Amino acid sequence: MTTAEQFWEGFYLDRDQVWSGRPNPLLVREVADLAPGTALDLGCAEGADAVWLAQRGWQVVGADVSATALGRAAARAEAAGVAERITWERHDLSQSFPSGTFDLVSAQFLHSPVEADGERDAVLRRAVGSVAPGGVLLVVGHAGWPSFMTEPPHEAHFPTTGEVLASLRLDDRWEVELEDLVERELTAPDGQVGHRVDNVLRVRRKQPPRP
Ligand SMILES: C[S@@+](CC[C@H](N)C(=O)[O-])C[C@H]1O[C@@H](n2cnc3c(N)ncnc32)[C@H](O)[C@@H]1O
């Protein structure tokens, strides 16, 4: 069986740059009203989100299973002059996890065609434990394939926000701030224009009551 490291290293080694280098628009939208603090970016890829957060004053840990992606991310941070605000950590998040707690934990499109059943749920549950009191867990994911993709490349279940929420097993110390579906326009490699729907779940760990 292909491991996450084997799959994602192959994915990144295939091209010099995979992603656009721009931060995810839904991260930008959801973080706009947050005061900068500490942030953890799960599946940080080539670092665009982490660099964007650092440029806004966040102290960031970016975690990914691919050493190649992390190398590109570190180079991007260096070029942007924010290297000292970001720590890059290589983890297969199903096996190990960054230590500490964070004011923002972000999982943007943490999908993987080689994940075992329940693996993503377990990673996100671990993420719940790494949110500091008063902090936010932001989970953005695809809700389906792009509209022009008539034959999906592999089988995938794209969880709804309700399914993600149920899997997090939050107690009453948490508040659900947002469940949203967002459609965006997308251009296929052959130039065909279509759309893709993503979903957003934002939950906040309440501050404990003052004694
Ligand atoms: C679909 S990409 C999304 C990348 C980025 N967050 C974004 O929104 O552009 C998924 C990322 O998660 C990483 N990833 C997948 N499975 C992982 C795992 N088990 N542990 C750590 N990173 C993983 C991949 O290497 C990849 O960079």
Examine residue 211 and state whether it is found in any structural domain, yes or no.
Answer: no
Examine residue 67 and state whether it is found in any structural domain, yes or no.
Answer: yes
46 CA → ligand 1 middle, Å: 9
Question: Domain of 113: which CATH number?
Answer: 3.40.50.150
Examine residue 133 and state whether it is found in any structural domain, yes or no.
Answer: yes
Examine residue 183 and state whether it is found in any structural domain, yes or no.
Answer: yes
Q: What is the pLDDT of residue 211?
A: 83
β partners of residue 201: 139, 179
User: Which range of residues forms the domain containing residue 131?
Assistant: 4-205
Q: Is 111 in the pocket of ligand 1 (CB under 6 A)?
A: yes
What's the structural domain count of the chain? Answer: 1
Protein residue whose Cα sits closest to atom 24 of ligand 1: 43
Q: What is the pLDDT of residue 185?
A: 94
Q: What is the pLDDT of residue 72?
A: 98
What is the position in ligand 1's atom list of the atom closest to the CA of 92?
A: 20
Q: Which of 182, 206, 202 is nearest to 30 (CA)?
A: 202
Residues with pLDDT less than 70, the chain = none
211 CA → ligand 1 middle, Å: 41
- From CA 141, how far away is CA 197, in angstroms rounded? 9
Rounded to 5 degrees, what are φ and ψ at 121? -55, -45
Pocket test for ligand 1, best of 105, 110, 119, 142 (most atoms within 8 A of CB): 110
Q: What is the pLDDT of residue 166?
A: 97
Q: Is 29 in the pocket of ligand 1 (CB under 6 A)?
A: no
Q: Is 66 in the pocket of ligand 1 (CB under 6 A)?
A: yes
Predicted TM-score (pTM) of this structure: 0.97
- From CA 59, how far away is CA 100, in angstroms rounded? 13
Examine residue 210 and state whether it is found in any structural domain, yes or no.
Answer: no
